[in-house]
């Protein structure tokens, strides 16, 4: 039957623990020998709940069945002319008649339901046609849901066993193999040889690390790279290592190690913004002297012979020669053109390009006065 939008829609919904069924119908002609109207189906809809939806309580599953049906037939049921007659055999929907503190999921459903005009009616189960539609014979009823579920797998746990004993045994063996270096350090640094109290070479109650790159990298992997260390910064790593170990140039070595740590470089915060590179003003290969000039003013100088500023004119394109001409701070574009005419123009004529940090009006006055 094709939907007739001038008649109200009747929506039958039914929800079980593992799925739901719905029938969209409209009222037809009355049956013979009875005054009850005859419902003509427009469309059928059934859907299985996902494993997550099967964990909802019965109140939410009934509401979810209504919402799924409305969304599925939104083209027909959105903003209808007459209220939608919602028929259900579950009294669980009446739970939502009272105010409740709902979770965010139900709050989102509440927003979806505002687009529909509903009138809910409870009918007996034996007269509810959607009940048989929701009972699928081969459906996954979720009888094996939530069994043998490992919430936190063993791989999520970090092995926090500190391997210092094995590492310090290796340090002791390495010290014995570098006896000559230890004795050489002993001449300039107050380190102590092994004794009854300590099997290691010590410096200020700290174990001396011999010049073995492998041992130093093992220490940094333990105090910086390990999951329990968490890649601390340079200062924190130095502090942790200095509590127990020492070797000449240790801070520099640790700083270079952290600078080369790929994880730190990828994830650290940039505290200094990237500077915009300076723009280089291009020059021509066949430029002649003073064909491209740059001028600037050094002002507010102590007055001398009636001048308190210096005009600098630089040959930017060819020889890089600079001219320094005394002038006044109140110099104008016209006066600047006069100075240029007296000191530069008589030798090299007018420039093809002028570079200045002055405003366009000042440069315009200079060019007009020079052209006269």
pLDDT tens string 174-206: 888 888 888 888 888 888 888 888 888 888 889
Q: What mean pLDDT do residues 315-343 have?
A: 89
Q: What pLDDT is recorded for position 135?
A: 63
The C-alpha atoms of residue 171 and residue 15 are separated, in whole angstroms, by 69
The C-alpha atoms of residue 31 and residue 368 are separated, in whole angstroms, by 102
Nearest to 69 by CA among 107, 19, 122: 19
Nearest to 344 by CA among 308, 319, 365: 319
Phi first, then psi, for residue 194 (nearest 5°) are: -60, 150
186 vs 277 pLDDT, higher one: 186
Q: So what's the architecture of 164-264 in CATH?
A: Orthogonal Bundle (1.10)
227 vs 127 pLDDT, higher one: 227
pLDDT tens digits, one per residue of 49-89: 888 888 888 888 888 888 999 999 988 888 888 888 888 87
**CATH code of the domain made up of 292-371:** 3.30.420.10
Nearest to 90 by CA among 45, 52, 120: 120
157 vs 287 pLDDT, higher one: 287
Is the per-residue pLDDT at 154 higher than 50?
yes
Q: What is the topology classification, in CATH, of domain 9-133?
A: Nucleotidyltransferase; domain 5 (3.30.420)
CB contact at 8 A, 193 and 261: no
Could you check whether 9-133 and 292-371 share the same CATH topology? yes
pLDDT tens digits, one per residue of 109-142: 888 888 888 888 887 776 777 666 666 666 666 6
Question: What stretch of H or E contains 22?
Answer: strand 19-30
CB contact at 8 A, 23 and 44: yes
Place of tokens 């308190």: 308
**Mean pLDDT of the chain, nearest integer:** 83
The structural domains of the chain, with segments of one domain joined by +, span 9-133, 164-264, 292-371
Q: What pLDDT is recorded for position 169?
A: 83
């Amino acid at each position: 039957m094709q939907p007739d939008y001038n008649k109200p829609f009747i929506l039958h919904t039914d929800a079980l623990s593992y799925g739901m069924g719905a029938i969209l119908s409209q009222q037809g002609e009355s049956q013979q020998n009875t005054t009850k109207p005859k419902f003509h189906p427009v469309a059928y809809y059934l859907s299985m709940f996902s494993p997550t939806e099967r964990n909802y309580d019965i109140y939410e599953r009934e509401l979810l069945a209504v919402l799924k049906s409305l969304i599925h037939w939104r083209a027909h049921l959105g903003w209808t002319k007459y209220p939608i007659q919602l028929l259900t055999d579950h009294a669980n929907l009446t739970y939502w008649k009272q105010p409740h503190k709902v979770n965010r999921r139900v709050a989102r459903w509440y927003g979806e339901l505002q687009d529909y005009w509903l009138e809910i009616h409870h009918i007996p189960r034996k007269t509810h046609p959607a009940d048989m539609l929701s009972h699928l014979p081969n459906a996954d009823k979720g009888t094996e849901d939530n069994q043998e579920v490992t919430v936190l797998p063993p791989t999520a746990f970090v092995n926090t066993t500190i391997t210092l004993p094995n590492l310090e045994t290796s340090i002791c063996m390495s010290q014995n193999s570098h006896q000559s270096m230890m004795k050489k350090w002993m001449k300039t640094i107050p380190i102590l040889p092994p004794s009854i109290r300590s099997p290691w070479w010590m410096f200020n109650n700290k174990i001396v690390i011999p010049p073995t790159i492998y041992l130093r990298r093992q220490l940094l992997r333990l105090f910086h790279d390990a999951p329990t260390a968490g890649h601390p910064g340079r200062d924190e790593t130095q502090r942790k290592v200095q509590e127990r170990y020492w070797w000449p140039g240790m801070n520099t070595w640790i700083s270079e190690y952290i600078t080369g740590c790929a994880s730190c470089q990828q994830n650290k915060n940039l505290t200094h913004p990237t500077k915009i590179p300076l723009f280089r003003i291009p020059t021509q290969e066949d430029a002649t002297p003073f064909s491209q000039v740059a001028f600037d003013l050094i002002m507010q100088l102590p007055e001398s012979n009636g001048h308190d500023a210096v005009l600098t004119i630089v040959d930017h394109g060819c020889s890089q020669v600079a001219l320094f001409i005394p002038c006044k701070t109140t110099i104008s574009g016209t006066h600047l053109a006069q100075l240029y005419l007296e000191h530069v123009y008589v030798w090299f004529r007018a420039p093809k390009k002028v570079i200045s940090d002055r405003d366009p009006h000042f440069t315009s006055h200079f060019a007009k006065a020079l052209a006269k």
